Amino acid sequence: MFDKIFIEKKEDIERVITRYLPKEEGYPKTVIEAMNYSVLVGGKRIRPMLLRETYALFGGESLIIEPYLAAIEFIHSYSLVHDDLPALDNDELRRGNLTTHIKFGHAMGILAGDALLNYSYEILSSAYELSPMYIDRCAKANKYISKKAGIYGMIGGQVVDIEAVGKTLDIESIEYIHMNKTSALIQAAMCAGAILAGATVEELNVVEEAANKIGLAFQIQDDILDIVGDEDKLGKAINSDAKNQKTTYVTIKGIEESRKDVETLTQSALDNLKALGYTNDFLFALIEKLINRIN
Ligand code: GRG
Protein backbone atom coordinates (compact mmCIF):
# COMPACT_ATOMS: atom_id res chain seq x y z
CA MET A 1 0.00 0.00 0.00
CA PHE A 2 2.77 2.45 0.98
CA ASP A 3 4.62 1.70 -2.27
CA LYS A 4 1.53 2.43 -4.39
CA ILE A 5 0.89 5.76 -2.66
CA PHE A 6 4.61 6.63 -2.86
CA ILE A 7 4.60 6.07 -6.64
CA GLU A 8 1.42 8.16 -7.09
CA LYS A 9 2.85 11.00 -5.03
CA LYS A 10 6.20 10.81 -6.82
CA GLU A 11 4.47 10.96 -10.22
CA ASP A 12 2.46 13.94 -9.10
CA ILE A 13 5.62 15.74 -7.96
CA GLU A 14 7.20 14.94 -11.34
CA ARG A 15 4.19 16.47 -13.14
CA VAL A 16 4.61 19.64 -11.07
CA ILE A 17 8.37 19.97 -11.48
CA THR A 18 8.14 19.28 -15.22
CA ARG A 19 5.80 22.30 -15.54
CA TYR A 20 8.48 24.47 -13.94
CA LEU A 21 11.31 23.39 -16.27
CA PRO A 22 12.43 25.92 -18.88
CA LYS A 23 11.48 25.45 -22.57
CA GLU A 24 14.22 24.01 -24.74
CA GLU A 25 14.46 26.91 -27.18
CA GLY A 26 16.52 29.95 -28.13
CA TYR A 27 20.30 30.45 -28.09
CA PRO A 28 20.87 28.76 -24.69
CA LYS A 29 18.95 25.65 -25.87
CA THR A 30 21.89 23.29 -25.21
CA VAL A 31 22.25 24.23 -21.56
CA ILE A 32 18.47 24.05 -21.09
CA GLU A 33 18.49 20.53 -22.55
CA ALA A 34 21.27 19.64 -20.10
CA MET A 35 19.26 21.15 -17.19
CA ASN A 36 16.10 19.26 -18.12
CA TYR A 37 18.03 16.04 -18.67
CA SER A 38 19.61 16.33 -15.21
CA VAL A 39 16.22 16.72 -13.53
CA LEU A 40 14.16 14.27 -15.58
CA VAL A 41 16.68 11.43 -15.81
CA GLY A 42 15.43 9.95 -12.53
CA GLY A 43 15.61 10.35 -8.79
CA LYS A 44 13.45 9.43 -5.83
CA ARG A 45 12.16 13.03 -5.29
CA ILE A 46 12.61 12.64 -1.53
CA ARG A 47 13.19 16.33 -0.84
CA PRO A 48 10.06 17.67 -2.59
CA MET A 49 8.11 14.83 -1.01
CA LEU A 50 9.34 15.72 2.49
CA LEU A 51 8.57 19.38 1.75
CA ARG A 52 5.00 18.71 0.62
CA GLU A 53 4.28 16.21 3.43
CA THR A 54 5.65 18.52 6.14
CA TYR A 55 3.46 21.27 4.68
CA ALA A 56 0.48 18.90 4.95
CA LEU A 57 1.51 17.93 8.53
CA PHE A 58 0.90 21.55 9.55
CA GLY A 59 -2.37 21.74 7.62
CA GLY A 60 -1.05 23.50 4.49
CA GLU A 61 -3.36 23.22 1.47
CA SER A 62 -2.43 26.00 -0.96
CA LEU A 63 -0.89 25.63 -4.44
CA ILE A 64 1.83 27.98 -3.18
CA ILE A 65 3.76 24.79 -2.38
CA GLU A 66 4.24 23.84 -6.05
CA PRO A 67 7.09 26.22 -7.00
CA TYR A 68 8.86 25.07 -3.83
CA LEU A 69 8.68 21.41 -4.92
CA ALA A 70 10.38 22.36 -8.18
CA ALA A 71 12.98 24.69 -6.67
CA ILE A 72 14.13 22.23 -3.98
CA GLU A 73 14.52 19.43 -6.54
CA PHE A 74 16.40 21.73 -8.95
CA ILE A 75 18.82 22.77 -6.18
CA HIS A 76 19.33 19.09 -5.35
CA SER A 77 19.85 18.24 -9.05
CA TYR A 78 22.43 21.03 -9.46
CA SER A 79 24.36 19.68 -6.48
CA LEU A 80 24.47 16.20 -8.03
CA VAL A 81 25.52 17.54 -11.46
CA HIS A 82 28.43 19.42 -9.88
CA ASP A 83 29.26 16.60 -7.47
CA ASP A 84 29.76 14.26 -10.45
CA LEU A 85 32.28 16.56 -12.20
CA PRO A 86 35.89 15.37 -12.59
CA ALA A 87 37.09 17.98 -10.05
CA LEU A 88 34.72 16.54 -7.43
CA ASP A 89 33.62 12.88 -7.37
CA ASN A 90 34.32 12.24 -11.08
CA ASP A 91 31.41 9.89 -11.77
CA GLU A 92 30.07 8.79 -15.15
CA LEU A 93 26.77 7.27 -14.01
CA ARG A 94 23.96 8.83 -12.00
CA ARG A 95 20.34 7.73 -11.63
CA GLY A 96 21.11 4.84 -14.03
CA ASN A 97 22.20 7.16 -16.84
CA LEU A 98 25.22 9.11 -18.04
CA THR A 99 26.10 12.03 -15.78
CA THR A 100 25.34 15.43 -17.29
CA HIS A 101 28.96 16.39 -18.07
CA ILE A 102 29.56 13.03 -19.80
CA LYS A 103 26.44 13.43 -21.95
CA PHE A 104 26.74 17.15 -22.73
CA GLY A 105 30.46 17.87 -22.19
CA HIS A 106 32.22 19.34 -19.17
CA ALA A 107 31.46 23.00 -19.91
CA MET A 108 27.73 22.32 -20.29
CA GLY A 109 27.82 20.20 -17.10
CA ILE A 110 29.20 23.16 -15.14
CA LEU A 111 26.79 25.63 -16.76
CA ALA A 112 23.75 23.35 -16.36
CA GLY A 113 24.47 23.10 -12.61
CA ASP A 114 24.86 26.89 -12.34
CA ALA A 115 21.69 27.41 -14.38
CA LEU A 116 19.63 24.99 -12.27
CA LEU A 117 20.68 26.78 -9.09
CA ASN A 118 19.93 30.21 -10.52
CA TYR A 119 16.63 29.05 -12.00
CA SER A 120 15.57 27.75 -8.58
CA TYR A 121 15.88 31.25 -7.16
CA GLU A 122 14.02 32.72 -10.12
CA ILE A 123 11.16 30.35 -9.27
CA LEU A 124 11.36 31.05 -5.51
CA SER A 125 11.40 34.81 -5.94
CA SER A 126 8.12 34.82 -7.85
CA ALA A 127 6.36 32.08 -5.83
CA TYR A 128 4.38 34.63 -3.78
CA GLU A 129 2.61 35.79 -6.97
CA LEU A 130 0.51 32.61 -6.81
CA SER A 131 -0.97 33.78 -3.53
CA PRO A 132 0.21 37.26 -2.44
CA MET A 133 -1.36 36.81 1.02
CA TYR A 134 1.52 34.42 1.78
CA ILE A 135 4.28 36.86 0.79
CA ASP A 136 5.75 36.97 4.34
CA ARG A 137 5.87 33.20 4.64
CA CYS A 138 7.45 32.96 1.16
CA ALA A 139 10.13 35.52 2.08
CA LYS A 140 10.94 33.56 5.26
CA ALA A 141 11.01 30.20 3.46
CA ASN A 142 13.21 31.60 0.67
CA LYS A 143 15.68 33.03 3.19
CA TYR A 144 15.84 29.68 4.99
CA ILE A 145 16.34 27.67 1.78
CA SER A 146 19.08 29.97 0.46
CA LYS A 147 20.97 29.80 3.75
CA LYS A 148 20.79 25.99 3.95
CA ALA A 149 21.89 25.56 0.30
CA GLY A 150 24.87 27.86 0.74
CA ILE A 151 28.09 28.29 2.71
CA TYR A 152 26.26 27.79 6.03
CA GLY A 153 24.76 24.55 4.71
CA MET A 154 25.25 22.28 1.70
CA ILE A 155 28.19 24.07 0.08
CA GLY A 156 29.90 24.47 3.48
CA GLY A 157 29.63 20.71 4.07
CA GLN A 158 30.90 19.96 0.60
CA VAL A 159 33.97 22.19 1.12
CA VAL A 160 34.97 20.31 4.28
CA ASP A 161 34.26 16.99 2.54
CA ILE A 162 36.61 17.88 -0.30
CA GLU A 163 39.35 19.14 2.02
CA ALA A 164 39.11 15.87 3.95
CA VAL A 165 40.12 13.70 1.00
CA GLY A 166 43.00 11.45 1.96
CA LYS A 167 42.89 12.56 5.62
CA THR A 168 41.78 10.56 8.65
CA LEU A 169 38.70 12.17 10.15
CA ASP A 170 37.08 11.82 13.56
CA ILE A 171 33.38 11.17 13.97
CA GLU A 172 32.65 14.83 14.89
CA SER A 173 34.13 16.08 11.59
CA ILE A 174 32.14 13.48 9.67
CA GLU A 175 28.98 14.53 11.46
CA TYR A 176 29.71 18.17 10.55
CA ILE A 177 30.08 17.16 6.89
CA HIS A 178 26.85 15.12 6.93
CA MET A 179 24.88 17.79 8.79
CA ASN A 180 25.78 20.34 6.16
CA LYS A 181 26.31 18.40 2.95
CA THR A 182 23.13 16.34 3.31
CA SER A 183 20.97 17.35 6.30
CA ALA A 184 20.95 21.04 5.36
CA LEU A 185 18.92 20.51 2.19
CA ILE A 186 16.56 18.13 3.99
CA GLN A 187 16.12 20.83 6.65
CA ALA A 188 15.50 23.35 3.85
CA ALA A 189 12.77 21.09 2.44
CA MET A 190 11.00 20.24 5.70
CA CYS A 191 11.34 23.66 7.33
CA ALA A 192 10.18 25.46 4.16
CA GLY A 193 7.09 23.24 4.25
CA ALA A 194 6.53 24.10 7.92
CA ILE A 195 7.12 27.85 7.39
CA LEU A 196 4.76 28.00 4.40
CA ALA A 197 2.04 26.30 6.46
CA GLY A 198 2.46 28.82 9.28
CA ALA A 199 4.27 26.72 11.91
CA THR A 200 5.35 28.56 15.06
CA VAL A 201 9.03 29.22 15.91
CA GLU A 202 8.92 26.42 18.53
CA GLU A 203 7.47 23.99 16.00
CA LEU A 204 10.04 25.04 13.42
CA ASN A 205 12.86 24.25 15.87
CA VAL A 206 11.47 20.74 16.33
CA VAL A 207 11.23 20.18 12.56
CA GLU A 208 14.78 21.49 12.10
CA GLU A 209 16.14 19.05 14.68
CA ALA A 210 14.16 16.13 13.26
CA ALA A 211 15.27 16.97 9.70
CA ASN A 212 18.87 17.07 10.87
CA LYS A 213 18.55 13.52 12.23
CA ILE A 214 16.77 12.33 9.07
CA GLY A 215 19.57 13.82 6.95
CA LEU A 216 22.28 12.17 9.07
CA ALA A 217 20.51 8.81 8.83
CA PHE A 218 20.04 9.33 5.07
CA GLN A 219 23.74 10.03 4.50
CA ILE A 220 24.93 7.14 6.71
CA GLN A 221 22.64 4.85 4.67
CA ASP A 222 24.16 6.37 1.51
CA ASP A 223 27.64 5.51 2.82
CA ILE A 224 26.49 1.95 3.66
CA LEU A 225 25.03 1.52 0.14
CA ASP A 226 28.29 2.79 -1.36
CA ILE A 227 29.89 -0.34 0.11
CA VAL A 228 27.19 -3.04 0.01
CA GLY A 229 24.68 -1.62 -2.50
CA ASP A 230 23.62 -3.03 -5.86
CA GLU A 231 24.89 -0.84 -8.72
CA ASP A 232 21.85 -1.59 -10.91
CA LYS A 233 19.40 -0.59 -8.19
CA LEU A 234 21.46 2.44 -7.16
CA GLY A 235 21.90 3.59 -10.75
CA LYS A 236 25.52 4.57 -10.02
CA ALA A 237 28.88 2.97 -9.34
CA ILE A 238 29.62 1.80 -5.79
CA ASN A 239 32.93 2.17 -3.91
CA SER A 240 33.04 5.86 -4.86
CA ASP A 241 34.20 6.82 -1.33
CA ALA A 242 37.10 4.36 -1.38
CA LYS A 243 38.04 5.49 -4.91
CA ASN A 244 38.07 9.11 -3.70
CA GLN A 245 39.95 8.25 -0.47
CA LYS A 246 37.09 9.45 1.74
CA THR A 247 36.77 8.48 5.38
CA THR A 248 33.06 7.93 6.02
CA TYR A 249 30.87 7.23 9.03
CA VAL A 250 30.99 3.54 8.07
CA THR A 251 34.80 3.51 7.85
CA ILE A 252 34.92 4.55 11.52
CA LYS A 253 31.93 2.78 13.02
CA GLY A 254 31.60 -0.31 10.80
CA ILE A 255 28.48 -1.44 8.95
CA GLU A 256 26.54 -2.98 11.85
CA GLU A 257 26.99 -0.01 14.21
CA SER A 258 26.16 2.37 11.36
CA ARG A 259 22.95 0.47 10.59
CA LYS A 260 21.93 0.74 14.26
CA ASP A 261 22.63 4.48 14.21
CA VAL A 262 20.47 4.94 11.10
CA GLU A 263 17.63 3.26 12.98
CA THR A 264 18.15 5.21 16.23
CA LEU A 265 18.37 8.58 14.47
CA THR A 266 15.24 7.82 12.45
CA GLN A 267 13.22 6.75 15.48
CA SER A 268 14.33 9.81 17.40
CA ALA A 269 13.30 12.10 14.49
CA LEU A 270 9.91 10.40 14.36
CA ASP A 271 9.46 10.80 18.13
CA ASN A 272 10.24 14.54 17.80
CA LEU A 273 7.73 15.01 14.98
CA LYS A 274 4.98 12.91 16.60
CA ALA A 275 5.34 14.87 19.85
CA LEU A 276 4.14 17.96 17.97
CA GLY A 277 0.67 16.41 18.12
CA TYR A 278 -0.15 16.55 14.39
CA THR A 279 -0.58 13.52 12.17
CA ASN A 280 0.54 12.67 8.66
CA ASP A 281 0.80 8.88 8.49
CA PHE A 282 2.34 8.94 5.03
CA LEU A 283 5.14 11.30 6.19
CA PHE A 284 5.89 9.10 9.21
CA ALA A 285 5.93 5.94 7.05
CA LEU A 286 8.16 7.65 4.46
CA ILE A 287 10.74 8.59 7.10
CA GLU A 288 10.70 5.04 8.45
CA LYS A 289 11.09 3.55 4.96
CA LEU A 290 14.26 5.58 4.36
CA ILE A 291 16.06 3.35 6.92
CA ASN A 292 15.89 0.32 4.65
CA ARG A 293 16.19 2.06 1.31
CA ILE A 294 18.24 0.22 -1.31
CA ASN A 295 18.69 3.15 -3.67
C1 GRG B 1 29.31 24.29 -6.09
C2 GRG B 1 31.12 23.10 -7.47
C3 GRG B 1 29.98 23.05 -6.53
C4 GRG B 1 29.56 21.86 -6.12
C5 GRG B 1 28.46 21.68 -5.22
C6 GRG B 1 27.14 21.01 -2.85
C7 GRG B 1 27.55 19.95 -3.78
C8 GRG B 1 28.43 20.25 -4.91
C9 GRG B 1 27.19 18.72 -3.65
C10 GRG B 1 26.26 18.33 -2.59
C11 GRG B 1 26.76 17.21 -1.86
C12 GRG B 1 26.08 15.92 -2.10
C13 GRG B 1 26.05 15.32 -3.46
C14 GRG B 1 25.58 15.34 -1.04
C15 GRG B 1 25.07 14.00 -1.06
C16 GRG B 1 23.64 13.97 -0.71
C17 GRG B 1 23.02 12.72 -1.24
C18 GRG B 1 22.99 11.52 -0.37
C19 GRG B 1 22.56 12.72 -2.49
C20 GRG B 1 21.79 11.63 -3.11
O21 GRG B 1 20.44 11.96 -2.91
P22 GRG B 1 19.28 10.98 -3.35
O23 GRG B 1 19.58 9.59 -2.91
O24 GRG B 1 19.38 11.06 -4.94
O25 GRG B 1 17.99 11.57 -2.90
P26 GRG B 1 18.24 10.91 -6.04
O27 GRG B 1 19.00 10.52 -7.29
O28 GRG B 1 17.27 9.86 -5.60
O29 GRG B 1 17.61 12.26 -6.18
Q: What is the pLDDT of residues 209-231, one digit of tens each?
A: 999 999 999 999 999 999 999 88
pLDDT of residue 247: 87
pLDDT of residue 240: 87
Provide the whole-model pTM: 0.96
Are the CB atoms for 54 and 188 separated by under 8 Å?
no
- Which domains are seen in the chain, by residue range? 2-290 (1.10.600.10)
User: Residues of the chain whose pLDDT is less than 70?
Assistant: none
End-to-end alpha-carbon separation of the chain, Å? 19
Q: How far is CA 44 from the centre of its chain?
A: 10
Nearest in space to 122 (alpha carbons), one of 146, 147, 157: 146
Are the CB atoms for 40 and 118 separated by under 8 Å?
no
Nearest atom (ligand 1) to Cα of 182: 16
Nearest atom (ligand 1) to Cα of 85: 2
Pocket lining: 178 vs ligand 1, CB cutoff 6 Å: no
Pocket residue to mutate for ligand 1, from 158, 238, 295, most atoms within 8 A of Cβ:
158
Pocket lining: 155 vs ligand 1, CB cutoff 6 Å: yes
Pocket lining: 44 vs ligand 1, CB cutoff 6 Å: yes
pLDDT of residue 242: 86
Torsion of CA 180, 185, 189, 195, to 10 degrees: 50
pLDDT of residue 235: 87
Pocket residue to mutate for ligand 1, from 80, 111, 146, 294, most atoms within 8 A of Cβ:
80
Among protein residues, the one whose CA lies closest to atom 17 of ligand 1: 182
What is the CA(209)–ligand 1 centre distance, in A?
20
pLDDT of residue 47: 98
